Every structure is written in structure tokens, then in C-alpha cells.
């Protein structure tokens, strides 16, 4: 294959794909557009650009050079947004620290990422105090303190964020460098093993931004996103760059609202006050939002919302749509920057009934631009797009992690045969929509049949008494494995709901062919809560430890 | 500057930016969407994908390999669209031949590009016959013949396009290769010297596609473009890939209409019949469209139109808007792939009066995503954004030609000091909008003042008697240069309009401060037509030869 490669002469400028360029357009298009932090801060994109330069000057003055790592521990804030830009733009690496990690995980990830400087919200000082002597590489700590009151701490703090910025000039010449330079790193606990680091280059983040834009702005669907939207993240910025949306919405010059720590009252207050039109969140947060006290006084209409992180159940989708939320699914992983699929409806589906639309909105979705996605059978061959044949989902895209940070063996497993293995099982339907049916590790093999825990959980979510539910496989002498259903009932249904109620409920699904009789759990356990991972997902590994003796 | 470069292990897939990926998403999102050719052909995106594979197989069977060049001579057609994809996707180079070139220019460009195969519409056979023995590198010729009747020609034709496709399979594995591989080449006559070749890589075309999408789909403005639009090019596909719009609109899976040779009746017929909502064209074509006989019976509303190629005068803009056309300016050059600027209105301008909006719609526009644009004064420094200080416009973007094909000297001039020199003079206003005031070579230096020929032409275009006008500088003993106005009157105004009418007309502009007295032409010449370049622009070089003795 000998194509003719363009080799520019030395005098030709070569244009690398760098995060700094994402910030250039909005400064021209929307310099007066607002960025809001809770009830306390409102500033413009011009201010953002000035503060990004101040932060870069400040970090440089504290000794941060290209190639060094800056760890951030904060809730979702305008300051985090400043770090999203300033740190990679100066050639340093942004480590977005998961503040839900245990102390051990925190120590492990900060040491493993070799953070040179930490920027930490006052809320996390007690945590940091407790582990400071186990952290090896951190030379300086910068405090973020919303209250601006004096703090008593045993930690040596080197600067306070706002004072630091005020002391530094609002101009900085961000240099050009290789677009494959490391921009961000963060850790995923996953459901097995210790935290694993994933990492992304400038090129990857820029291309991810554009391809998500193609899916949300270019392809006309149930919910198009543009610079006219008002954006508020409800997936943490430490979790896969809040799905990369802060980069996209900043590039578009949209109005943005950063809510700090996620408190239902504050989120709904900001939704109303700032007229938020676009968010993304996980099912449990959505569940909390629509069921909290403030929800009764909130107008949920004109709120486009992408749901990801775990499966969006049809029951939750219906409840939210009845309130006016325009919601649909996004699919991705920490390893994939993250977006792979979005459940955009095709034009002919706009005439469908709400119930048919919900089926599609809850689908895992269509692969976005530049995502190549295959479902492989046990022989490693692509299965037909028939809406039923399942297999492991593998992907290629320009923005997948090149592996796990300093872990050759797990990296080579992840990238077996040149495709990133998602560890998810699913099928593709005739229209090209992916549907995940299970995690590879969570799938239940019973006799010679696979039983989908996700399908069962989805059905159970439609039962009026259910707050949350999980299905795991438990050993069975005859069948190998059988499904066990674990249910958290809504308070008002406790002591009023029995195993038999669910068995009757399943009967309906069996009768209309939506569930095989074989898949009905033999046993149902009622409990008060489900174990969760630090990323807020149901922790099936913990459930298996708990329920399988 | 030592950033940390990500160096993926051998097992990690590296994803190049290739044109083939632009065709993958629409095949999933919109396989049944239609592509239409005049009144004669209507097929789906699935068909397109099949025919692209057939064309690649066909070319391969005729000996075309990666790195070879395929020249195309056709009007805008679905077949041209197939060439836009198939030729670069197989690693070969697409040479889009300007069918308006003179015989000498045609011979020069085909030989200079070293075309191996030609795909030519029957309309151009007489032209090819006349020059065949001067063309050195072409080994095979493939005929495109709409009428499918037998042709009598002295040329040796090696295949007919449709027969060739029918003989080849609808599947082809398009390989991965370096994203910097040459994808397209074509020649620009410019206004000085012989044709010069410009060339683009896969990476450049992909990035151009995404950044144009950001401006047209992501940024909410007077005319947003999405997959729901119906697209018809009215700028030839041989002219800078029809501004790259066929790549964008195909990637979005939009309905597309290819009009063949530009005939006003057919264009307006297709606009109406196929409900076209998005086009781009040059001012002269728009002028022809709104003034032709069929225009009286045409509903021009819901037609978003980008005008480029030459300056959009306020007079023409007003006339077209009164008919319902939603038009605005795009700016670019053959050397820039081409889009640099689009005159998107900012949100607060949507409340402005039509006359104020026309001012902005006729502006050269805002730089699109990833375009860095500077206006340099005579000392090479950026001028202030004050809406008046002019200088030469220089740019950087990821999709600028690396030079002129095999012309080191002109390439190094083009890229002087690492910026591409557009040869245009302009200013930037406080809102960041660029306004071109002149071509560097057309600017008139009179005494110590610059006089803008474009400003004068724009004012003259508002006079009711004017069909077309041009201003050139002529030598003057006292002032060095003085402006000469050359006017083509509308037929009904001939013999009824005098030099004095124009002088009175200018007086008004002088009085309200829009024109300096000094800039008023001393002399006005009436003529029946203006010399044009092969790209349809007013040829000022020819006018200077004609009017300066």
C-alpha cells in the first residue's frame, strides 16, 4: 500500500490538534457569554480565558513544567473547568481524582499517577490530612476554599487558588507541541481488581469533542444541542471529563452552570433559575432528582438529558418523560474517553408512540461518528444485525485509551487482536442500534442458555414497588448457575410485597413473549440497600460476595 | 518543551483520519436516505456505498493503484460524488479538473498532475479529442454518458462508467493508511501566472468537514444546517470540492440533489421539486437565478445559501432576501480547502433590522473553529480589532495546502514566516468579524491613502441601473494611482444613465460619512461586459490590460 504522503516543506505551519484551540473560537463568538457556579459566581468567557492564563502562570511560578502532573480534587466548578484547559494547555497532565475513592485507593492513584501538585477543595482536607504521609510525589498543595474562611488544618498548604490567580497576569502564550502529548489521566475502580489508570492525548480529546458534536448537533434527532443551550453537568468532572461535555460546550460558547457538590435542591434550583436545557447524569441521580421534595415544585420540561453510567430502565425513562424530561441513553466507559453510542432516534421514529420511543431511548444507541463497533461471537466473528444474536462488543475509535497506565498485561488483554474489548455483551438490531444485554462477567450461564441480568433488572424496574434491583448468578448443582433477584422496595411498599407478587408480574412478560420462562429467578431477596462502587454503580462483585456463600 | 508523548504498544489500534470513515456513519444512520441526480436518478446511501465499492473494484481492475491519479471532468453529479469517495478511499489521488479551463490550461494541468486515468463526461469529448495527443500520462479514459446513446469520437475510450460499475462487485475492503496521504489535487488559475496546483490530505479534508460542521450545526445562528436539510451544490464540484460540502452533507446522511450542468431552469425546478433547503453559490450565479424567467414562479423561501467566490454586494443580498433566500457569506480560497470564515450572526443580532443584518451577512465573516486569522500591518504586526485598520490577512488552520504542487518558490512565498498569505486586505471589527476590503494586488494607492476597490464596487452595486461593476487603479501623474470605475448597465438603463448620475449618487455616501471624497472615481467607463477568469470572477488583470495603455 504505497500512498503519496504529503511532506510539508520546513516553512509550512503544521497544525497540531490541541485543547487550546477549543478555547479560541468561543472567545471570538461569545466573549460575553456566562459561566455560572452555584449561586455565587457568574463570569464571562473572556474572564475564563484570563483566568486560564492566570492559572498557567501560577502553576509555572510554583515549578510546574510540561510533562508534570497536576491532580485535582473538587466538585464540579468553574475552577475545575479552568483546570480542564490550563493544565493540558501548558503541556502538563491533568489528573482528575475520584473523590469517592477509599483512602487506600486515593493514596494508590496519587502515587501511581505521580502527581506533582494537588489542587484540592477544602471539603477534602480531612481526607488528605489522614493520608498525607503516604503520598510520595506531591510537592505542593493549592487550596480551593469556597467559604474563604480561615481553615485549621495540619496540612502544609502552599497557596490559595483565588489569591494565587489574582497575583498572576492574564496573558500566557500557550505553546504548540505534539498532539499525541498526554493531556489527562484518571483511575477507574471497575468491578474487579485495584484502580487502573486510563489516559488521553490532546488529539484524542479534540476528536472526541467533534464526533460527539456530530451526533448531538449535526444529526437531527429528538434533542439537538447547540450553542443556544444552557449546560449543567450532573456527572462528575472527575469521571471521564464529565463525558467530555465541558470541552464541547465551551467550544460552542454555550452558557454553562457548574453545580458544585450534587445536592438535589441546589441542582433543581439551578435548573429553574438558570434555565438549564442540557445535562447528563446517571440513573440513580435522575431517580433522586425526580423523587426529591423540590421536584414537586420544579418544571422539568425543556431539559434534554443523556443518561449513562448504568442501564436506563424503561420504568425510570417513562417516569422522567412524564415530567417532561427529554431523555435518552449514552454509552461509553472510562476506557473510551467515554462516548461510543448515543440513542438518537432516526427521523421516522419521531412519529412513534411514546412507548415505542421509550424502547429506542433506552437502547444503548447508535455508534457516533468514527466509532467502529462489532459484536463478536465465540469464534471471534461479527454476528448478524438481527436484534437478538449476542456476543462481546469490541470497538475502535480515535479516542480510546492506549491501555492501562503502566500495566502492560492488562493493556494487552484490553486490546486483544487490535480491538478494544468492552467486556459488555449485546446485540445490534436491524436499524444499527446496539443493545447491551449484560456485562461479560455478570452474564448468567444456566444450562446451555445465557440469561441476561440486565433484561431482568429492566423488567423488575417496571414493577411499581421497586426502588432498585439487581440480578446476579448463583451456583446451582443442576443448571450450573441460576439468577437471584435482589430488590430494594420503595418505603411505602415494604412489608406489602411478596416473592409471589413478582412471580405473577413475570408471568405477564412470559405470556407476551418478552421473557423466557427459564429466565425467571427461582429466588427473590428483599434488602434495604445495594452495595455500590465508588462510581455509583451497583457493585455486583460485592453482591456476589454477600449472597454467594 | 518536553511533554509526555503517548507511544502506544504494538497491539493498540491507531486510528487514522481517513475519508472512508466519513461514509461509515450515514450508512448506519440513514441507509435509505436519497441522493438525486437531476430528473433522472434517485438512489439511496446504501446504493452509494455499493457503487463506491464497485468503482474502486473497477479502477483497480483497470490498473489503478494507491498513489496513482484519477482525473475527473464532469458536471455536478452523483457519479462525481462516488469519485469523491472511491478514489481517495483506495489510496489514489482525485484530480478534479476545471472544465472551464482553456485547452492549453487543460493540457498543462493534466500533464502536471500526471493523471493516469480520466473519467470524462461525454460533453467534454470534443475538447479532449482536440488535445489528446498533447496529454502525456493518461493511460485509460472512462466515459460518462448520460444519454447512453452511441457516440462518435476519434478518442480511444476504455470503458463506459455504468457498464464498468455493473461488472464489478459491491464490496471492497478499503485499507487503512497514513492520514497524511494525498487525497485530492486541483488547479487554480488565480489572476496572475499559469495554473497552480493545490493539494489536500485525508486528514485535512476530515478536519475541514468537522470544523465547517461546528460553524453550521453547532453554533446557533441565522441558518443552522443538519441532517434534516436537503442539499444541492451550486458551486462546481471541481472547484475546491464544492467547498467540501458534499463530504459534510454525506457524513450527516442528508438528502442530496446533484444538478448536473448549471442551467437556471433546472436548478429552480430541482429547488422546488426536491424541496432543497441548503445550497452555496457565487454572486453571479445567484444574480442569474433570481433574475431568470423561472424565478417568477419559484418560491425561494426556506433556502439557506452561503455566498462565496467573490464579494456579496448589499444590493444583491437585499434582492435575494426579499425573495426569501436566507443568505450569508462564506470566505475561503483554493489554497484553503476552502472554508476560513462564515458570516454567522451572533445571537444578539437576530433582533436587528434587516438593513443592519445585511451589513453582517455581507461581512466576510467569523473565522470558523480552528482557523487562526491575523491582519498584519506593513511591519508584520497584528492590527487592532477596530473595524477600520486594514492590512494583509494571513491564516493558519489544519487544512491549508502545504504549497503549490511542485513549485517550491511560490510555495515559500505563500507560506512566508509560517502563515499562509491570502493576498487579501481587510480589517477585523470589534465583534471579531473579518471584512475584506481588497485584493492586495487590486488595492489602489492614491497619494498616501489606500482606496478600496471593493468598497467602491459595493456602493455602485446599490445603484438601480447597475448590472455589474469593477474598479481598477490607473496611473496618475499627480497621485500615483486613481480609481477608474467600469460599469455594465442593465439593458433598460442603457443610454439613460450618465457619469453625472453616479457622481450625484456618490455624493450621498460622502455626506453620510460612508465614503471619503478622495475615493470617488474621476472617470467612469460604460461597457457591455467585464472580462472574467475561468472561475467566473472578474478578471482585473485583463481589465488593467484593457484600460491602461
pLDDT tens digits, one per residue of A411-463? 999 999 999 999 999 999 999 999 998 877 777 877 767 788 888 898 898 89
CA distances in angstroms from B63 to B39, B66, B145, listed in the order given? 34, 10, 22
| Same-domain check for residues B97 and B245 | yes
Average pLDDT over residues A146-160: 86
Q: CA B436, CA B363: separation in Å to the nearest integer?
A: 8
User: Inter-chain contact A182–B403, Cβ cutoff 8 Å?
Assistant: no
| Same-domain check for residues A96 and A136 | yes
| Same-domain check for residues A380 and A503 | no
Question: Are residues A231 and A259 in contact, defined by beta-carbon separation less than 8 angstroms?
Answer: no
Q: CA B500, CA B450: separation in Å to the nearest integer?
A: 24
Q: Please tell me the predicted confidence (pLDDT) of residue A82.
A: 98
pLDDT tens for each residue of A427-437: 999 999 999 98
Backbone angles phi, psi at A121, to 5 degrees: -70, 140
CA distances in angstroms from A55 to A95, A234, B445, listed in the order given? 16, 25, 47
pLDDT band (50, 70, 90) for residue B102: confident
Mutate to test the interface with B, among A219, A382, A402 (most CBs of B within 10 A): A219
Q: Please tell me the predicted confidence (pLDDT) of residue B307.
A: 96
| Same-domain check for residues A418 and A510 | no
Average pLDDT over residues A80-90: 98
User: Inter-chain contact B3–A367, Cβ cutoff 8 Å?
Assistant: no
pTM, to two decimals: 0.90
- Give the SS3 label for residue A459: helix
Q: Please tell me the predicted confidence (pLDDT) of residue B309.
A: 83
User: Inter-chain contact A12–B91, Cβ cutoff 8 Å?
Assistant: no
User: Inter-chain contact A214–B67, Cβ cutoff 8 Å?
Assistant: no
Average pLDDT over residues B82-109: 94
Which stretches of A38-132 are DSSP H helices?
A: 45-61, 78-89, 103-113, 125-131
Q: Please tell me the predicted confidence (pLDDT) of residue B284.
A: 83
- A152, part of any domain: yes
Least confident stretch, A241-250, A507-516, B263-272, B339-348: A507-516
| Same-domain check for residues A531 and A421 | no
pLDDT band (50, 70, 90) for residue A328: very high
- Give the SS3 label for residue A201: strand
Residues of B in Cβ contact (< 8 Å) with A218:
213, 217-218, 226-227, 251-252
Q: Please tell me the predicted confidence (pLDDT) of residue B440.
A: 77
Q: CA B469, CA A111: separation in Å to the nearest integer?
A: 71
| Same-domain check for residues B401 and B543 | no
User: In which order are the strands placed within the sheet that holds B255-258?
Assistant: B41-44, B34-37, B255-258, B230-231, B278-281, B303-307, B325-332, B339-342, B366-367
Question: Are residues A395 and A340 in contact, defined by beta-carbon separation less than 8 angstroms?
Answer: yes
Q: Which of residues 329-388 of A touch B (CB under 8 A)?
A: 344, 346-347, 366-370, 372
Q: Please tell me the predicted confidence (pLDDT) of residue B474.
A: 87
Active site residues of A: 188, 335, 445, 450
Residue with cell 459595493: B458
User: Inter-chain contact B15–A252, Cβ cutoff 8 Å?
Assistant: no
ipTM, two decimals: 0.89
pLDDT higher than threshold 60 for residue A191: no
| Same-domain check for residues B367 and B219 | yes
Which one of B7, B396, B412 has the shortest CB-CB distance to A11?
Answer: B412
- Give the SS3 label for residue B269: helix
**What is the secondary structure of B327-349 as a DSSP string?**
EEEEEE-GGGSSEEEE-PPPGGG
| Same-domain check for residues B416 and B446 | no
- A351, part of any domain: yes
Which one of B8, B28, B178 has the shortest CB-CB distance to A432?
Answer: B28
Give the CATH number of the domain where residue B537 resides.
Answer: 3.30.300.30
User: Inter-chain contact B5–A182, Cβ cutoff 8 Å?
Assistant: yes
Residues of B in Cβ contact (< 8 Å) with A13:
396, 400, 415, 418-420
Peptide bond into A338 cis (omega under 30): yes
pLDDT tens for each residue of B426-475: 999 999 999 998 877 777 877 767 788 888 888 898 899 998 899 998 88
| Same-domain check for residues B317 and B403 | yes
Which residue, among A352, A391, A354, A350, has the nearest Cα to A373 in the 3D structure? Answer: A391
Last residue of a domain, one of B396, B428, B460: B428
- A441, part of any domain: no
- B410, part of any domain: yes
Q: Which of residues 171-210 of A touch B (CB under 8 A)?
A: 175, 177-178, 180-182, 199, 201, 207, 210
Q: CA B405, CA B403: separation in Å to the nearest integer?
A: 6
Which candidate in B69, B96, B109, B188 is catalytic? B188
CA distances in angstroms from B41 to A241, A452, A475, B44, B305, listed in the order given? 47, 47, 61, 10, 24
Burial of A85 (0-12, 13-18, 19+ CB in 10 A): buried
User: Inter-chain contact A412–B9, Cβ cutoff 8 Å?
Assistant: yes
Residues of B in Cβ contact (< 8 Å) with A419:
13
Q: Please tell me the predicted confidence (pLDDT) of residue B448.
A: 65
pLDDT band (50, 70, 90) for residue A94: very high
| Same-domain check for residues A73 and A199 | yes
Which candidate in B275, B388, B445, B514 is catalytic? B445
Output A148 or B156, whichever has higher pLDDT: B156
Mutate to test the interface with A, among B29, B45, B213 (most CBs of A within 10 A): B29
Last residue of a domain, one of B381, B406, B428: B428
Count of C-beta atoms within a 10 Å radius of residue B384: 12
Average pLDDT over residues A238-246: 97
For chain A, give the percent of residues with pLDDT over 90: 77
Q: CA A401, CA A188: separation in Å to the nearest integer?
A: 12
- % helix, strand, coil for chain B, step of 5: 35, 25, 40
pLDDT higher than threshold 80 for residue B80: yes
User: Inter-chain contact B418–A11, Cβ cutoff 8 Å?
Assistant: yes
CA distances in angstroms from B183 to A4, A7, A474, B76, B199, listed in the order given? 9, 13, 56, 19, 8
- CA angle, residues A235, A239, A244, in degrees to nearest 5: 75
Q: Which of residues 1-40 of A touch B (CB under 8 A)?
A: 1-9, 11-13, 15, 17, 21, 24-25, 28-30
Q: Which of residues 76-115 of B touch A (CB under 8 A)?
A: 91, 93
CA distances in angstroms from B318 to B127, B290, B310, B328, B358, listed in the order given? 40, 12, 16, 11, 7
Give the CATH number of the domain where residue A67 resides.
Answer: 3.40.50.12780
Least confident stretch, A66-80, A235-249, A503-517: A503-517
What are the grid coordinates assigned to A139, written together? Answer: 510537592
For chain B, give the percent of residues with pLDDT over 90: 77
Asked if A533 has any chain B CB less than 8 Å from its own CB, the reply is: no
Average pLDDT over residues B197-224: 97
Mutate to test the interface with B, among A21, A25, A91, A429 (most CBs of B within 10 A): A25
Q: CA A121, CA A160: separation in Å to the nearest integer?
A: 10
- B325, part of any domain: yes
What are the grid coordinates assigned to A78, written together? Answer: 468553574
Q: CA B265, CA B366: separation in Å to the nearest integer?
A: 34
pLDDT higher than threshold 80 for residue A300: yes
| Same-domain check for residues A254 and A325 | yes
- CA angle, residues B159, B163, B166, in degrees to nearest 5: 135
Closest chain A C-alpha to B527 CA, distance in angstroms: 43
pLDDT band (50, 70, 90) for residue B83: very high
User: Inter-chain contact B397–A218, Cβ cutoff 8 Å?
Assistant: no
Least confident stretch, A246-260, A308-322, A379-393, B117-131: A308-322
- B436, part of any domain: no
Average pLDDT over residues A340-366: 95
Backbone angles phi, psi at B443, to 5 degrees: -65, 145
- CA angle, residues A480, A485, A487, in degrees to nearest 5: 165
pLDDT band (50, 70, 90) for residue B382: very high
- B277, part of any domain: yes
Q: CA A140, CA A214: separation in Å to the nearest integer?
A: 40
Last residue of a domain, one of A413, A428, A443: A428
Q: Please tell me the predicted confidence (pLDDT) of residue A448.
A: 65
Q: Which domain holds residue A209?
A: 19-428
Which one of B3, B12, B419 has the shortest CB-CB distance to A66?
Answer: B3
pLDDT higher than threshold 70 for residue B357: yes
Total domains present in chain B: 2
Least confident stretch, A226-230, A531-535, B405-409, B479-483: A531-535
- A437, part of any domain: no
pLDDT tens for each residue of B140-152: 999 999 886 778 8
Closest chain B C-alpha to A61 CA, distance in angstroms: 16
Question: Are residues B30 and A368 in contact, defined by beta-carbon separation less than 8 angstroms?
Answer: no
Q: Please tell me the predicted confidence (pLDDT) of residue B190.
A: 57
Q: Which of residues 419-448 of A touch B (CB under 8 A)?
A: 419-420, 432
pLDDT higher than threshold 60 for residue A192: no
For chain A, give the percent of residues with pLDDT over 70: 98
pLDDT band (50, 70, 90) for residue A137: very high
| Same-domain check for residues A423 and A456 | no
pLDDT higher than threshold 80 for residue A297: yes
Question: Are residues A272 and A293 in contact, defined by beta-carbon separation less than 8 angstroms?
Answer: no
Which residue, among A366, A375, A364, A308, has the nearest Cα to A337 in the 3D structure? Answer: A308
User: Inter-chain contact B181–A4, Cβ cutoff 8 Å?
Assistant: yes
Residues of B in Cβ contact (< 8 Å) with A212:
none
Residues of B in Cβ contact (< 8 Å) with A433:
none
Q: Please tell me the predicted confidence (pLDDT) of residue B476.
A: 82
Amino acid at each position: 500500500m504505497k500512498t503519496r504522503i504529503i511532506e510539508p516543506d520546513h516553512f509550512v505551519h503544521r497544525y497540531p490538534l490541541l485543547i487550546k484551540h477549543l478555547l479560541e473560537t468561543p472567545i471570538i463568538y461569545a466573549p460575553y457569554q456566562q459561566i455560572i457556579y452555584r449561586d455565587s459566581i457568574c463570569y464571562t468567557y473572556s474572564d475564563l480565558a484570563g483566568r486560564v492564563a492566570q492559572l498557567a502562570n501560577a502553576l509555572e511560578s510554583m515549578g510546574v513544567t510540561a510533562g508534570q502532573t497536576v491532580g485535582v480534587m473538587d466538585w464540579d466548578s468553574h475552577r475545575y473547568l479552568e483546570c480542564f484547559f490550563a493544565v493540558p494547555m501548558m503541556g502538563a497532565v491533568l489528573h482528575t481524582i475520584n473523590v469517592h475513592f477509599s483512602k487506600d485507593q486515593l493514596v494508590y492513584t496519587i502515587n501511581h499517577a505521580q502527581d506533582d501538585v494537588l489542587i484540592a477543595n477544602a471539603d477534602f482536607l480531612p481526607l488528605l490530612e489522614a493520608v498525607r504521609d503516604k503520598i510520595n510525589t506531591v510537592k505542593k498543595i493549592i487550596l480551593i476554599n469556597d467559604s474563604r474562611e480561615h481553615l485549621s488544618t495540619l496540612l502544609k498548604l502552599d497557596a490559595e487558588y483565588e489569591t494565587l490567580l489574582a497575583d498572576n497576569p492574564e496573558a500566557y502564550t500557550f505553546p504548540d507541541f505534539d498532539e499525541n502529548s498526554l493531556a489527562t489521566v484518571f483511575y477507574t475502580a471497575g468491578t474487579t481488581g485495584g484502580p487502573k489508570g486510563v489516559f488521553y492525548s490532546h488529539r484524542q480529546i479534540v476528536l472526541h469533542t467533534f464526533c460527539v458534536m456530530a451526533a448531538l448537533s449535526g444529526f437531527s434527532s429528538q434533542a439537538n444541542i447547540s450553542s443556544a443551550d444552557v449546560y449543567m453537568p450532573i456527572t462528575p468532572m472527575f469521571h471521564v471529563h464529565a463525558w467530555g461535555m465541558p470541552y464541547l460546550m465551551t467550544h460552542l460558547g454555550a452558557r454553562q452552570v457548574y453545580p458544585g457538590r450534587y445536592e438535589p435542591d441546589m441542582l433543581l434550583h439551578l435548573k429553574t433559575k438558570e434555565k438549564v436545557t442540557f445535562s447528563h447524569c446517571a440513573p440513580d441521580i435522575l431517580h433522586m432528582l425526580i423523587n426529591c421534595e423540590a421536584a414537586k415544585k420544579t418544571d422539568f420540561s425543556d431539559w434534554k438529558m443523556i443518561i449513562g453510567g448504568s442501564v436506563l430502565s424503561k420504568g425510570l425513562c417513562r417516569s422522567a418523560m412524564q415530567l417532561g424530561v427529554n431523555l435518552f441513553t449514552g454509552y461509553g466507559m472510562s476506557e473510551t474517553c467515554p462516548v461510543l453510542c448515543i440513542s438518537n432516534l432516526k427521523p421516522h421514529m419521531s412519529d412513534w408512540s411514546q412507548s415505542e420511543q421509550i424502547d429506542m431511548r433506552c437502547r444503548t444507541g447508535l455508534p457516533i461518528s468514527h466509532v467502529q463497533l462489532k459484536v463478536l461471537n465465540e469464534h471471534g466473528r461479527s454476528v448478524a444485525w438481527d436484534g437478538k444474536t449476542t456476543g462481546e462488543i469490541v470497538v475502535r475509535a480515535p479516542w480510546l485509551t492506549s491501555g492501562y497506565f503502566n500495566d502492560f498485561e492488562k493493556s494487552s488483554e484490553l486490546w486483544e487482536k487490535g480491538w478494544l474489548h468492552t467486556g459488555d455483551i449485546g446485540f445490534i438490531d436491524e436499524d444499527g442500534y446496539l443493545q447491551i444485554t449484560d456485562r461479560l462477567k455478570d452474564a448468567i450461564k444456566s444450562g446451555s442458555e445465557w440469561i441476561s441480568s440486565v433484561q431482568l433488572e429492566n423488567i423488575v424496574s417496571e414493577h411499581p414497588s421497586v426502588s432498585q434491583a439487581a440480578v446476579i448468578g448463583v451456583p446451582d448443582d443442576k443448571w450450573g448457575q441460576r439468577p437471584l433477584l435482589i430488590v430494594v422496595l420503595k418505603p411505602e411498599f415494604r412489608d406489602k410485597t411478596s416473592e409471589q407478587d413478582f412471580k405473577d408480574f413475570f408471568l405477564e412478560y412470559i405470556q407476551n413473549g418478552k421473557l423466557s420462562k427459564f429466565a425467571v429467578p427461582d429466588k427473590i431477596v428483599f434488602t434495604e440497600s445495594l452495595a455500590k462502587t465508588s462510581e455509583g454503580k451497583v457493585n455486583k462483585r460485592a453482591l456476589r460476595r454477600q449472597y454467594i456463600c
